[in-house]
Structure 1
Amino acid sequence: MGKLGDMANKAKEMAKGHPEQADKGVEGAERMVDERTGDKYDAQTDKAADAARRSYGSNSTTDR
């Protein structure tokens, strides 16, 4: 696997070990994109954030 794939796998493993911190990072990234785009892509960022959370086994969901 290439370096990018290795880095992605390492990040996923770290997120599995620290899901609360990973949730904060995902939430922050989602909020930043929403702010910069004026919530134009809110549905897409919600979907992407949920997929990211599922990838490391988080049970957290953000209520809006």
Structure 2
Amino acid sequence: MGIFDRFRHQGQDKAKDMSDAAEKKANERTGNKYEDQVDSAQQRVEGQLGMDRDRPDQP
């Protein structure tokens, strides 16, 4: 694994952590009333940014 691959992987990990934090905060502020919608939106955004959780890491 090259140095650029490591940076890319670290960036994706940080972006996923930030996405999870945003989802948690949204759910806290709405009292989990819109949990399904927030989760769906998070998945769509991550998919558009190439951060699909179900897809294995690309080389």
**TM-score of the alignment, normalized to the shorter chain, above 0.5:** yes
Structure 1 runs (4+) deviating above 3 angstroms are: none
Residue segments in structure 2 that go unaligned for 5+ positions in a row? 1-7, 55-59
Higher relative contact order (CA 8 A, sep 6+): 1
RMSD: 1.4
Counterpart position of 2:42:
49
Instruction: Please state how far the C-alpha of 1:40 moved relative to its aligned partner.
Output: 0.3
Q: Who wins on radius of gyration, i.e. which is larger? A: 2
Identity of aligned residues (%): 29
Q: Secondary structure at the match of 2:33?
A: coil
How many positions carry a matched residue from both structures? 45
| Equivalent residue letter for 1:26 | S
User: Whole-Å Cα distance in 1 between the matches of residues 13 and 40 of structure 2?
Assistant: 19
Q: Secondary structure at the match of 1:39?
A: coil
User: Whole-Å Cα distance in 2 between the matches of residues 23 and 53 of structure 1?
Assistant: 8
| Structure 1 residues 15-54: Cα deviation after superposition (integer angstroms, max 9, x where no partner) | xx42111111110000001011110000110011101110
TM-score w.r.t. structure 2 length?
A: 0.67
